[in-house]
Amino acid sequence: MISPSTTAASVKILRLPQVCEVTGLCRSMIYQLEADLRFPQRVKIGVRAVGWLDNEVNAWLTRRVALSRSKDAVSS
């Protein structure tokens, strides 16, 4: 979520190919996770264009890594 102190210069929008590259997920999985409210919601940036906030995608990735690491520690 963008806080009031966030400036336009610090906001970066990722388009779908970039999100796929960063996450390693395919387009359909990103949309499925988003529909299930398990992935950040897209932002409408034009009439026919959407993107995802870079910081939200990175926070999602960080949570996924932390969750994976905690499950690995329990099962080891």
Domain locations in the chain as residue ranges: 13-75
Cα distances (Å, whole numbers) of residue 19 to 45, 55, 76: 15, 12, 31
Are 50 and 13 in contact, with CB atoms under 8 Å apart? no
Structure tokens at 7: 């400036």
What global pTM score does this model have? 0.80
Q: Is the pLDDT of residue 75 over 80?
A: no
Contact 16, 27 (CB under 8 A): yes
| pLDDT per residue as tens digits for the range 23-64 | 999 999 999 999 999 999 999 999 999 999 999 999 999 999
